[in-house]
Each structure stands twice: as C-alpha cells, then as structure tokens.
A and B are shown apart, each in its own frame.
Chain A
Amino acid sequence: MVSQILAGYGEIWTFTTLHSPPQGFASPLHIALVTLPGGVNLICHGAETRQLKIGGRVAIEEVDGIYYFSYLGPADRARLFWRRAGARGSKVTSIMKSVVKRLLSERGIDEEPPTR
C-alpha cells in the first residue's frame, strides 16, 4: 500500500443527517461523501449539514483515523488558499477562482433540500 498526502479540502458529493444512528453514535449524525482534488472520495463526519450544498467546498481533517468535514464560509476559503504555498500572486488568483466558482455554483442546480 502506498501512502499519499491528501489535500485538506474537497467538494461535497452528497450528504445526510441521520436521526436514528446505530448504537455508539450521537443523534443527529451528519455524514457526507467528499471528493478530493484528484478524484478520491471520502466518507466523513461533520458537526452540521445546514449550510452544505452539493458541489460546495469543505475543509477535511483526519483525527484518529476518522475524516471530518467542516463548512467553509468565504473568509474560511480565503484563509485556506492564503495558507497554500506559492507566490503571493497565485494565492490571490486561487482566492478569486474560489469566489467566482462559489458565485457560479450558487446560481446552478445546487438546491436546498425541501425537507427543512
């Protein structure tokens, strides 16, 4: 098996909040499938799914072998790219791309689940 360093962020493929989780898990249980850059998909836990959208960007963190997603607001996203290595210009470009992508995806088919 080859170990790989994975990016710390990804895109929401799909998600759910489970209201009757199995024994050993607190209810409600927030689960998402997240696609990392390069196409790897992870199953992750999160603190909430309220602001999530399919195609939206989330931060990913691994603690004790469990992956967690967390929602990235505009400021979080800017910080995420600012931390990236590279020339200052390319960081700003990344932030701009992220902002543009977000604006476009908000006008797309990303829909709020009708159950809320």
Chain B
Amino acid sequence: MSDVFIAGAGITRFGKRDESLQDLMAEAARKALADAEIERPEAIVVATMNPEEFVGEGNFASQIATYIGCARVPALRVETATSSGAAAIYSGFTALASGIYRSVLVVGGEKMTHLPTPRVSELISRSIDPVERAYGATMPALAALVTRSFMAERGVTLGEISLVAVKNHAHGARIPYAHFQESVSLEQVMASRIIADPLRIFHCCPISDGSAALVLTSERTPVRIAGIGHGADYLAIRYRETLSSFRATQVAAQAAFRMAGFGPQRVELAELHDAFAPFELISLEDLGLVTPGMAGRALQSGELTLGGRLPVNLSGGLKARGHPLSATGIAQVVELTWQLRGMAEGRQVDARVGLAQSIGGLATNNWVTLVERV
C-alpha cells in the first residue's frame, strides 16, 4: 500500500449562500487545486448527499468536473448520508494507496438553506430506518433518544452537554469561514427552544450551505493520512445493544488506529461530529480519547478547549462552523491540515497528529481519519 498525502486544502464560507451548489463546490475545488499547485487531478471524487432533491440536479460527478474545467477527468460520486465527505476521502485514499492514481481531487458540498426547514428535515430523515420514520422519528428525535440513554448511563448532565455548544461557539468565533462566529452563554443554550426533549435548539447544528475540498497525492507532502477506518451499525436504533455509544465509531477508530500503527494517546487535536452536542461527548469515549464516563469532566476542566490538552472542534465543529452535510467530513480534515501545517491563524496549536470523526445517518456509517505531520 502506497502512502497517501494531503497536497491541497480549500473551503468556502459556510452559512446561507446565494451561489449554486456547483459554483460553491467549484470554488472549494479550485482553492484546493491552487493550494496543491496542481492544474488537473487524475481523478475526482464528489460527495453530495442528495443533490437530486436539494437542488434538483443529477449526474453530479460529471457536473462538478465540468464546473471546475475538468470535464474529461474521470469523476465519481459517493454517498453515505451525512458522512459522505469522509467517504469521499476514503474513496480517494484507496485509489491512491492501491496505485491506480497519483493525484485525486476530493470535493464535497451541500446546499439546503433555500428550502423551508420542514422540507430539509424531511429529506435528512430519509436516512432513518423506514419503520422508525413511520412513527414520526426525525434526526433530532433519534438523537434525543440517544441523549437520554447516554445521560442516564453515564451520569452526564444537560449542563455538561450544553457546555459543548458553548465551547464550539467560542472556537467558531475565531473561524472566518464559520456559519456562526458569535459566542453563546450557557444560559442562552439552556434557555433555548426545546426541539426534542431533552435537546434544545442550541444543542443542534444549523442547516448550512458550503463546500470543502482536498487534493490527495502519492507524492510526499508535510501531511500524511496515517490511517482511515469505516464502521457500520444497524439502520434501526431499536436493534442496537446500546444507545450510550456508537459501535460504528468504535469500529472505525479501531481500523484507523490499526492502519496508523499507533493508539489514541498520540492524538493531540480532534474534529468530531457534533451534529448534536451530546454526540461530541459520546464520540470522545467511542474513540478512546477519554475514559468512558469522564467526557463531561474533561470538558468541564477545559482540556478540550483551545489551550487545553486535547482541543476538540477548534473549527467550531458542526455546531458553529455549520453542517453542509457532505462538506463536513472534508472540512474537518481541511482544518486539521491547516493546523498541522501551522496555518491556523488565531487558533494554532502545536500538534503532530489530528483525528477527524464523521457520523453518517444516526451513526450507521461512520469514519475516522488520522492525519500526521511528517
């Protein structure tokens, strides 16, 4: 297996955008290609969760290749619900590791803010088990079921869960491309509107437009993908053995650490999938970054904040950076790449190893990516 390196990273501003999805993705792609000083990649992997419904367009890999002026470069599209961006990195990684290509552009994006919220919610809900959906379960509803179980089993309080949102908003205030760049107080989070008890709106990530891209190469650069892993679980949450952890994350982490040849103790910063604030705490435990039951305490102690032992979601996370579904898994690695290269202005930490975790659906299709400064 050949080593795989990150040669270029690019991102658009996240939030409410007027441009078309194709234009947003072309913008991120051009930035990544310029950063890599590559005019034309050998192949393109495109991640979009549902452009057919969100923007009414199909054959999307070819559309994106055309928009970036690479109509004759082979392009394919991958989809694993909300983790599609991470799946695209995996697809590009395997193509390079196997020696099929020497450079691959990976670009993910979504555009949703032009649609009414109930419509967006309905489209995202299609990644839920059909029986559970028939009972009116939405993503926030399932996340609330998970949250209540996690709180009861781990003794985590809603105050601690709310601190995740406070921390990630504070981080997001330093990020020029973030959807939200304002801090929020614990009181604001705790007093915000209830969505699905016990989750309030400030525990949930926003609906965002945006795109992120990476250029992966087999040619050596300062940042290497040290390991990448994929884990899966039952679509139906009622079939799972536990709701206080996500097997799909645990399996993905094991695979990624096995490939990298090191363990969680070497991870110095992480980008986690906080689509709902409690997911950050669950993920910290699933990844072996904190001892089960200690995630709340690690957060309270400031360990996970800029300047702490293990800064988590310096990009603001899904909560503040925003969550244009298929852009997210790639945006996480873009931020890690800048950190490892020393280009994270205003939030730079001295780290060698970063971890990105992406959750697809209600944790049915999760990914862990380890990047290392070499």
Contact = CB atoms under 8 A, between A and B. Distances in A.
A59 interface: no
Interface string B187-200: 00000011111111
Contacts of B121: 20, 22
A33 B236 CA distance: 11
Contact of B152 (A24, A31, A110, A115): A110
B186 interface: no
Interface range on chain B: under 10, 10 to 19, 20 to 34, or 35 or more? 35 or more
Contacts of B198: 16, 113-115
A43 interface: yes
B294 interface: no
B196 A16 contact: yes
A59 to B, nearest CB: 18
B145 A21 contact: no
A66 B135 contact: yes
Contacts of A18: 136-138, 140-141, 144, 195-197
Interface string A1-39: 000000000000111111111111100010101000000
B197 A45 contact: no
B244 to A, nearest CB: 9
Name the prevailing secondary structure of the B interface residues.
helix
A50 to B, nearest CB: 11
Interface in B22-51: none
Nearest to A52: B148
Contact of B196 (A19, A44, A109, A111): A19
Contact of A22 (B136, B144, B151, B152): B136
Given A18-B141, A43-B137, A114-B158, A49 B131 contact: no
Contact of A42 (B194, B197, B238): B238
A14 B197 CA distance: 11
Contact of A23 (B118, B131, B148, B193): B118
Interface range on chain A: under 10, 10 to 19, 20 to 34, or 35 or more? 20 to 34
A15 B145 contact: yes
A109 B194 contact: no
B238 A16 contact: no
Given A110-B152, A114-B157, A33 B145 contact: yes
B99 interface: no
B6 to A, nearest CB: 39
Contact of B197 (A16, A25, A33, A54): A16
A14 B149 contact: yes
Nearest to A40: B238
A49 B193 CA distance: 18
A93 interface: no
B288 interface: no
Contacts of B155: 109
A90 interface: no
B149 A17 contact: no
Interface in A38-77: 41-45, 49, 54, 66
Interface of B: 118, 121-122, 125, 131-132, 135-138, 140-141, 144-146, 148-149, 151-152, 155, 157-159, 193-200, 237-239, 243
23 contacts: A13-B149, A14-B146, A14-B149, A15-B148, A16-B145, A16-B199, A18-B138, A18-B196, A20-B118, A20-B196, A22-B121, A22-B122, A22-B138, A23-B118, A23-B122, A31-B145, A33-B237, A33-B243, A41-B239, A43-B137, A54-B152, A109-B155, A113-B198
Given A20-B121, A20-B195, A31-B141, 5 more contacts: A16-B144, A19-B195, A33-B237, A45-B136, A115-B197
- Which 3 pairs between the two chains have the least Cβ-Cβ distance? A16-B144, A25-B136, A14-B149
